[in-house]
Structures are given as C-alpha cells and as structure tokens.
Amino acid sequence: MAWEAVIGLEIHVQLATKTKIFSGASTAFGAAPNTQACAVDLGLPGVLPVLNAEAVNMAIKFGLGIDAEINKINAFERKNYFYPDLPKGYQTTQLERPIVGAGHVDIMLDDGSSKSVRIHHAHLEEDAGKSLHEDFQGMSGIDLNRAGTPLIEIVTEPDMSNAKEAVAFAKKLHSIVTTLGICDGEMSQGSMRFDVNVSVRPKGESKLGTRTETKNLNSFRFMERAINKEIERQIDLIEDGGTVIQETRLYNGDTDEARSMRSKEEANDYRYFPCPDLLPVVIEDSLLDKLRGEMPEMPDAKKARFIRDLGLGEYDAEILSGDQTTAAYFEATAKTSGDAKLAANWVMGELSKSLNQNEIAISNSPVTAEMLGGLILRIKDNTISGKIAKQVFEALWNGEGKDADEVIEKKGLKQVTDTGAIETMIDEVLAANAQQVDNYRAAPVEKRGKMIGFFVGQCMKASKGKANPGMVNQILKKKLEG
Ligand code: ADP
Ligand code: MG
C-alpha cells in the first residue's frame, strides 16, 4: 500500500529582547548558572509581573511578516504543571486569545514550485529553566537563567507532506525571524526549537491519522532525520498490524535514536486559567502603524526584487535572499562589480565552498564583498581569466593581499593579451608538437574541433594560464589551418 505523511510543526522562538518577558532580568546567553533569574522569574510569593513592551512589539512584527491577523486584544493564561525547572508551578502563556492569528509562510519545493504553509496562530509565552542531566553524578542540575525568557510559539496547520518540506519551512521561518531581527537564530543555543507532529495515512485518504509529537529538535539535519525515522516507524507499525498511539517522543541526534517520552497530555490536564496578575494586552492602531513603518524588506520581497531588478533566476534569488547576511554580501558584491549574475555565481560558488570547507560564517569571511566585487571587475575588464580569478580568490582568502589588484600585481597574474607574445608562444608549441600538427592537418574537418583542445591546453600551460583563451583559440586556428 502507498502511504503519505502529514506533518505540522510547533516552533518555539526566543525573542531577542534584552530583558525577560515579565521582569528586568537579563536574557544574555552563557552566564554562570542561576545568576540571571530574579524573584519574578521564579514566581516567588508577592511578586508581580510587568509585561515587556518590546516582546509585544516583536510578536506583532512576526505577525506582520507572515501576513497574519493581529489580535488587538489578547491575554495571558497560566498553564499549570510541576517540573523542577519551573519553580513557579505554572507557565504564563496564551491559549484562548493569542497575539498573532492565522497567517502563512511560503516555501519553494525541489521542483521550483511553491507551497503555502498555513500558520494557525502564534502566541507569547515565557520559557522555563533548563534541567541538566549530565555532569551531576546521577543527579540533575537546574539552571534557571532561561526562566522568563520571552518566546513566541508558532503553530502551523498540518500542511507539510515530507521531511524536506518541513525543513524548507523551518529554514524559511529562520530567515523570517532573523530578517525581522526578533530572534538571533542561534539554533545550537536553543534560540529556535522545533516540535514535529507526524502522522501517516493511506495515499488518497482524507482523514488524518493518529500523530506523534517529537520535541525540541534544534538543527535542520536532526529534524529531517527524526521525521523520516518516525514516518518509517509508523508505516512499519501499521503494516505489522499495530496502531500508532498519540504520544510525545524524544529524538537523540547524536545517536540517531528515538523513544517514547510520555503519552500525549490534553489541554485540560493543565488547568489553564486567565492570569490574574496581567491585564489583557490592548494594541492600539498607532502602535501597529509605527511597527509597520519599521518593517524590513522580507525574504519573499527581496527574492522578487533580485529577480525583477537584478535579473537573477528563481533558484539563485531564493538562495541569496534566504539569509540576511548573505543577501547583504551579495548585494554589495553586485554593486561593486556592476554584474549581479557574476556576483551571484561567485557568492554561491567559490565563496560558499570556501566558507563551508572552513566552517566560517559569511559575516566572518576573510574575503569581503568589496574584495570579491573588485575581483569580478578584473574578470570583466579582461585583466584576468575566470580560471586565474580562482587563484586570486584563494590568495585573497589566505590573506596574501588587500585586494585583487595587489594580488594580480604581486603574483604577475595579468592576462597576456598581446598578440605578438601569444603568437610567439603558439609558434613554440606548434614546433614542439610537429607530429600532432601533421595529424591535425590530415584529419577530417569535423574531427578538428576536438583536436584543437590539445593545442589550447599546451598554450595555456606554457603561459601558466595567463594567455587570453579567446585569443589563443583564434590565433591557433588560423595557424593550424594556414
Ligand atoms: P493539540 O491541541 O492537541 O495541541 P493541535 O490541533 O493544536 O493539537 O495541533 C498541534 C500541532 O500538530 C499542529 O502543528 C498541527 O498542525 C499538528 N497536527 C495536528 N494533527 C495532526 C496530524 N494528524 N498529523 C500531523 N500533524 C498534526
Ligand atoms: Mg496545541
């Protein structure tokens, strides 16, 4: 039987505010354990929370960024449960009236078509502390620094049908929140955490199957693996006559193992009730207008502009608009070089290859956008060939010069375009390969096109790659035919 998977995501995004959602304690990452949780974050008796206006602004910006309805009156609830990293005994969150209503995030699929993933809603809430199960000899450590860090939890409709789509969605969401500047996007620090809901059903069936939820995936790669593994597990289970039970699961990316954590809890298990300490949030039109005015160019708009104004293809535009820093780097390179297409090729080619190999972020690239733009200028004005340009790039990467011109000068890489010099070189190559010249002249015309490659290669070698290839080709042909 053919099966199809159904996937919906819930994503926790840490908002990049300086202080907590209900207190003035710092949200900075990496502080010594338990130095950044204050009495409000711990919910000690007698404290009163004060809502951080910046967290509200950021949530609204997210809503505007995904074309969502903003609920101008929204409110906080208490979700009650006990856990050592939640000393308050409840999480302050939103249930009935979330700040952001329905919206959508569009993704590009492998075949180049696009798909709209519906967002059900996004709500504001506080993060809990962290339980640390290693390094404490059979005990657990509790670090409450994270308690009270502002989050938006984004809930999608079950609109994705395979792991690749889910990852494309996750990457797009990452791009949206970092472009908005509402999250630092540091997944390894837990700034974005994905819960994946997965079910399967016979292909063509319209009713949804029973789903499981795998929690807290914090890398795209782990997410893809965890989803594929779960789809496979469910199909095997059903085909063996079993049934999927609704449960919460854990996936360990280091060992590639998944296990059941607990059976699924219901909303009523949590005894939600309106938070008596916080007034409903009322959003004025003036605030909405102000925030609208502060919105940056969103990735989709940027992509459209790259296609429309810079002449990029769909795929290149998608890649280059996806990440803010990459987009800015590309635009600066295109501007310096005056050639958007070459700039796109170099950013997505040599540059990204070198960045990946050395695991360096584009923001720390030793070759700046200005340097790359300057290099491209020298290809365009025929100072160097594309091949030599790779050598120059490598030298720039290794810090062997402040710009392309200096490297070209120092290493003597200037392209030879002097007809006389090229002719002399060709004469030498032909003299040294008299037999091949005879073979060429004896060969039928349709075979010569291929045979000339040998001579071009010899000439380029003799010039250490510096001869202008177009001129070499042209002069060679004339001499061989003549
Ligand atoms: P609950 O109220 O139990 O939390 P929701 O309806 O809020 O459930 O859904 C939570 C998440 O699970 C959403 O992202 C939703 O898209 C997804 N989801 C719901 N049902 C399914 C299903 N059958 N298969 C896959 N994902 C699902
Ligand atoms: Mg839910």
CATH at 446: 1.10.10.410
Regarding whether 42 and 182 lie in a shared domain, the answer is yes
Centre of ligand 1 to C-alpha 213, Å, is: 8
- Reported as a single tens digit per residue, the pLDDT across 180-197 is 999 999 999 999 999 999
Same domain, yes or no: 52 and 187: yes
Tell me, in angstroms, the distance from the centre of ligand 2 to residue 154's CA.
10
Cα 264 to Cα 245: distance, rounded to the nearest angstrom: 9
Could you tell me if 282 and 342 lie in one domain? no
Ligand nearest to the CA of 120: 1
Q: Is the domain of 112 the same as that of 18?
A: yes
Examine the domain organization and report whether 399 and 464 are in the same domain: no
pLDDT recorded at residue 295: 97
Say whether both 385 and 303 belong to one domain.
Answer: yes
Task: Give me the sign of the Cα torsion angle 116, 122, 127, 130.
Answer: negative
Identify the band that residue 398 occupies on the pLDDT scale cut at 50, 70 and 90.
Answer: very high
Same domain, 455 and 401: no
Q: For residue range 75-121, what is the model confidence (pLDDT) as tens digits?
A: 999 999 999 999 999 999 999 999 999 999 999 998 888 999 999 99
Which residue type occupies 92?
T
pLDDT at 262: 81
| CA separation for the pair 23, 19 (Å, rounded) | 7
Residue 147: domain span: 3-289
251 with 387, same domain: the answer is: no
Q: How many CB atoms lie within 10 A of CB 112?
A: 10
Residues flanking ligand 1, CB < 6 Å: 6-10, 155-158, 197-199, 208-209, 211
Mutate to test the pocket of ligand 1, among 155, 193, 227, 234 (most ligand atoms within 8 A of CB): 155
* Confidence band, pLDDT 50/70/90 cuts, at residue 5: very high
How far is ligand 1, taken at its centre, from the CA of residue 303, in Å? 31
Q: How far apart are CA 242 and CA 245, in angstroms?
A: 9
Last residue in a domain, options 411, 432, 453: 411
| Together in a domain, 257 and 387 | no
Task: Judge if 279 and 301 occupy the same domain.
Answer: no
Q: pLDDT, tens digit, for every residue of 338-395? A: 999 999 999 999 999 999 999 999 999 999 999 999 999 999 998 998 889 999 999 9
> Which H/E stretch holds residue 106?
strand 103-108
Q: Are 210 and 256 in contact (CB under 8 A)?
A: no
User: Are residues 135 and 97 located together in one domain of the fold?
Assistant: yes
Place of tokens 């000899």: 137
Give 156 Cα–ligand 1 centroid separation in angstroms: 8
The pLDDT tens digits for 206-263 are: 999 999 999 999 999 999 999 999 999 999 999 999 999 999 999 999 999 999 988 8
**How large is the average pLDDT for residues 293-315?**
96
Cα–Cα–Cα angle for 210, 90, 260, rounded to 5 degrees: 30
Q: Report the C-alpha gap between 333 and 348 in whole angstroms.
A: 12
3-class DSSP state of 204:
coil
The one-letter amino acid code at 359 reads: E
Judgement on whether residues 309 and 381 belong to the same structural domain of the protein: yes
Domains identified in the chain, total number: 3
Domain boundary among 411, 435, 451: 411
Q: What is the Cα–Cα distance from 415 to 382, expressed in whole angstroms?
A: 7
CA torsion, ordered 151, 152, 157, 162, to nearest 10 deg: -50
Distance of alpha carbon 305 from its chain centroid, rounded? 19
Given 242, 268, 289, the domain boundary residue is 289
Split at pLDDT 50, 70, 90, the class of 203 is very high
Under 8 Å between Cβ of 21 and 124: yes
Query: What single-letter amino acid sits at 57?
Result: N
The pLDDT of 438-461, averaged and rounded, is: 90
**Ligand whose nearest atom lies closest to the CA of 200:** 1
What's the confidence (pLDDT) of residue 133?
Answer: 85
- pLDDT-above-90 percentage for the chain: 85
